[in-house]
Chains A and B, each alone.
Chain A
Amino acid sequence: MSDQVQPEYDPTDPVNVPEPDVILRAEDITKIFPGTVALDHVTFNVHKGKVNVLVGENGAGKSTLMKIIAGVEQPTHGRLLLDGEEIRIRSPLDAKEQGISIIFQELNLVPNLTVTENIFMGREVVRYGTINQKYQKQIALDLLQRLEQKINPDTKVGDLRIGQQQIVEIAKALAQDVRILIMDEPTSALSAAEVDALFRVINELKAHQVSIIYISHRLEELLQIGDYLTVLRDGRLIAEELVENVDIPWIIEKMVGKSLSSLFSRKEHRYGDVILKVEKVTLPGGGGNFIVDHVSFDLHQGEILGFYGLMGAGRSDLLDCLAGARPEATGRIWLNGQEIKANTVSGRIQAGIVLVPEDRRRDGLVPTLSVADNILLASLRQYLNRLRFLAPRKEKAAVDSMIRNLSIHVANPQQLITSLSGGNQQKVVVAKGLLNTPKILMLDEPTRGIDVGAKSEIFELMSKLANEGFGILFVSSELKEILAMSDRIIVMSKGAIVDEVTCQEASEERLVMASYIGHKTNNGGNHNGREKHD
């Protein structure tokens, strides 16, 4: 804690003097929202033709800064310099005219329109008064090819996996002539192959002198793709450095003031008997294919079993099947030796199997309810009094205990769930599951889109729960996470288990190799109209 004192921003610091290759300079930006200072005299340089990385924990002010550059918000104080000249960006349209484009973390796509229609949304190419569909489709196809994706431009966006949707969002930005492209967490839902393709595109854009502002929580990635690095913390500029001069521990220290070793760690521990036995769980897809292909495995008490694979490998679908959310699924499961017959979500929850879903916003939370009501939603029957009414005292006790045990940061449990940060929202979803006193906890990408500090808290929580005797199933697309957290790792590809390793045997290479089994002809990523290979 003693080395937490950071050098304050100093205008005479040589790094903050405008350099010739700076295309955009956000100078001395302050943004005050009623009640909070989101940005406090921050200067941010965007270097021409480079990848300018911006890091910081959630709430550090990254998104606010990007919104100012993209014209969504106006700064309270400070100015923007484009090519050395002061400009005013009053709206996103202004920003687009200046060649500034942004890919938001939350996807801005219309699910019921096709990929092509989304790419050209608001900028339709019109010929003789009607949309020139042939031309649009060709451009869309070219873009998707450039991104090395075999996505059919006529597919409805809603039918794509989230990873593919993110690719479409990137294609949409590329379809416009951009000078500065802001990417807010572009890889959070991408598989390794998709990330590689994206990075190739980024390098290509750099070669065309496009400047990129890149925000991500995946630090390894930043080192791989970034040229310049800027760290924000609590709305203040903490450091600006060439990426070649830094490493991950340095970044984390600047971001949170903690060292890396304390973030991910899983102490060795013993685990008990088989608690969950899964036999031939199968989810049929279209045309004789299987989304989940006869999956069988055992889970021990106190064990964290990780599932690795590419996007669309069927990991999330497997968890959905186990949670009872897919009534068409077949297969048998035993919990503590007793077969579970119920195939509904409520039945499985009562049996003790609880899912923390992948997409918090879509499946995990009710945005119109308070923090407390979200926490209680799945376990209301436990808080009834003799008259079968909800007893506020029992409810409050449950909410308070969860807020304390999971250290959910909330001023008042009655405030809306949407007022919490991503990491705390995720803890609320976990709390909701835990209140059902489950035996099996299934976590689907539990750290997606949350900051490093919150990630380590979620991991600590998983370790704690495993030590208390829960069986934990854990899906993650981040190799480092899954290697650090799992006692055993199952690799899935095309719906089937292709490898199973203990944490001692596991290595990044082995997991990645296994995850590509069956993908050779397909180049990974996209599984529309896939064939069965085994």
Chain B
Amino acid sequence: MAEKSMTDTATTPGSTKKILAHQVNWLQLLLRGRVFIALVLVIIGFSILSPTYLSPQNLEIMSKHVAIWAILAIGQTFVILTGGIDLGVGSIVGLTAMIAGALINVGIQIPELGVVIYPHTWTILLISLTAGALLGAISGLIITRFGVAPFIATLGMLNVARGLAGIINNGYTFPNLVGNPQFGNTGFDVLGAIRLLGLNYSIWIMGLFGVVAYFIATRLPFGRHVYAIGGNENSAQLSGVRVKYTKVIVYMISGLCAAMVGLIIASQLVAAHPATGEGYELTAIAAVVLGGTSLSGGRGSMGGTLIGAFVIGLLEDGLVMVGVSSFWQMVAIGVVIVLAVIIDQGTFAMQERIARQRQLES
């Protein structure tokens, strides 16, 4: 008797629930795919406005730009997922480019022995990438050992690394990074021009970094720890997550990604300029945020970041092609970023509401 009456009363709210849940799902889908929708709109819009927008040459140029934003943003995503921020990446791009430039054009000089060592191109890549990771590790250690806020610690790195980039060659560019056959260090310029299946190698690197980052974020305990730290550091700590270690690693990853970008730019330009990468950190952060990662940490995805980088890159280049002045470009990109976050907040509020409803139901 009793059970029967209970089931009877349960059917009526249950059926209304299903209908509403259905509508909610549609809206959720739209919101969840909002960056992707934005990307499609950007592509459609500019291909109408500019007939050459989708030409193979232009696609190649644009994807080279996108690759740079994407690689930086991938590293930045790890940092932001832990609730941190890395302002140092733009300067690390410049510094690692200069390190590579110095190693090719000047080599490692040891005056005591009167020797100059010219490392092989692969060694140069390795040294530059290690340098990037080390610079990131320094930021991470300052943050975790001394309790410095990530914003401040990496702001320090932004200045220090940029300064060092200038010091290396007294503010001058290292031009013509072709190496010398006599020293056996040629090939850096070739690297910048490598193409595979018609695509510049930087695009392949972007893909590689994206896939690896995706696996790290979703399929390694480390990735889960990153999300947990950003969601609730206390709980993570009490669950046995090595919070400090994990944080240092994310800044190392970010530094490594920045070094990769430094090498890509230097190899493509066949030159290393100390101002390379100035302001890139903010574009990278914008791509991450645009991709739906929450600046307070714990929420976001690598896929979102990649799409965010595409939106930023394609939007910027599109605006250039259509002939919008650089000032209006800045206005447009600024508006897009803030708009994305406003929508984000709405989505978050909706998810919370759905969660609360579920709680009421259970």
Contact = CB atoms under 8 A, between A and B. Distances in A.
Interface of A: 1-2, 4-5, 33-38, 59, 64, 323, 325, 345-346, 349-350, 355, 357, 362-369, 373, 376-378, 380-381, 384, 388-390, 409-411, 415-416, 418-421, 424, 432, 436
A389 B299 contact: no
B13 to A, nearest CB: 5
10 contacts: A59-B360, A346-B242, A357-B238, A368-B297, A368-B298, A390-B220, A418-B356, A419-B362, A420-B359, A432-B239
Nearest to A380: B221
Nearest to A63: B360
B227 A365 contact: no
A2 B5 CA distance: 13
A325 B13 contact: no
A249 to B, nearest CB: 19
Interface residues of B, number: 45
Nearest to A362: B234
Contacts of B114: none
B237 interface: yes
A419 B354 contact: yes
Contact of A363 (B1, B2, B234, B240): B234
B235 A5 contact: no
B1 A5 contact: yes
Nearest to A325: B238
From DSSP, what is the main secondary structure of chain B's interface residues?
A: helix
A388 B220 contact: yes
Contacts of B220: 388-390
- When A and B form their complex, which 10 residue pairs have the shortest distance between CB atoms, in order from nearest? A368-B298, A419-B358, A368-B231, A366-B231, A380-B221, A35-B17, A346-B240, A378-B239, A419-B355, A349-B240
Given A34-B24, A388-B220, A410 B362 contact: yes
A364 B221 contact: no
B245 to A, nearest CB: 10
Contact of B240 (A33, A35, A345, A376): A345
Contacts, number: 133
Contacts of B84: none
B28 interface: no
Contact of A377 (B1, B17, B228, B234): B228
Interface string B279-305: 000000000000000100111000000
Interface in B209-241: 215, 218-221, 224-225, 227-228, 230-232, 234-241
A419 B356 contact: yes
B55 interface: no
B325 interface: no
Given A377-B239, A418-B355, A365 B24 contact: no
B182 interface: no
Contacts of B7: none
Contacts of A390: 218-221, 224
A34 B357 contact: yes
A369 B2 contact: no
Contacts of B240: 345-346, 349-350, 378, 436
Contacts of A389: 215, 219-220
Interface in B1-56: 1-2, 5, 13, 16-17, 20-21, 24
B236 A366 contact: yes
B24 A380 contact: no
Given A377-B241, A390-B218, A421-B362, 7 more contacts: A5-B1, A33-B356, A346-B241, A365-B232, A367-B232, A377-B239, A421-B359
Contacts of A365: 232, 235
A411 B358 contact: yes
Given A33-B360, A35-B357, A36-B17, A4 B241 contact: no
Contact of A409 (B234, B238, B354, B362): B362
A165 to B, nearest CB: 16
